[in-house]
Amino acid sequence: MKEQYIKQVEKELSLPHKAKKEVVRDLNEVFASALEHGETEQQVIQRLGTPKEFADSTAEQFGIDNASSKKRKGIISALVALIVAVVAFSIYAVTRLGKAPEGAIGQADATTNIQIESALGFDVLQIILAVGFAAAVIAVLLIIRTIHKNRR
């Protein structure tokens, strides 16, 4: 129970790594001291509040707004995913734009019987397109999650 609580607090905290380690160390000391004085883990958790409440108050002591930091991370992640999607779609579009018809050689207007396969055995453009779609879906999900969290 204690380990789960501490892990959740660590997950909720938007602090630098060193500060997080300090908070985790302090929490372990709080639990150890309370247990020595006859308190149960459940009583300590009730006294400290939910992991989110504890993380928010701890971040506040460090002079950091825990909620806005998480919101900023969500927005940045969504923007990065959108940029990846746009770049992937752009690469795909640019490479397809000036292409001759499938099966044509050079600038021929008609198709031929000659088939040319890439050395890789698969179409790299299809992978780029799939990455673009995956990044777009991730971006949409991150935007929805950020909006949903901001309404609470």
pLDDT the model gives residue 69: 62
pLDDT the model gives residue 59: 80
Q: Is the pTM of this model over 0.85?
A: no
Three-state secondary-structure class, residue 16: coil
pLDDT the model gives residue 110: 58
State the Cα–Cα distance between residues 44 and 50, nearest whole angstrom: 11
pLDDT the model gives residue 98: 65
Per-residue model confidence as pLDDT tens digits over 102-111? 655 655 555 5
pLDDT the model gives residue 53: 87
Cα first-last separation, the chain: 27
130 has a pLDDT exceeding 90: yes
Three-state secondary-structure class, residue 111: coil
The position carrying tokens 């985790």 is 24
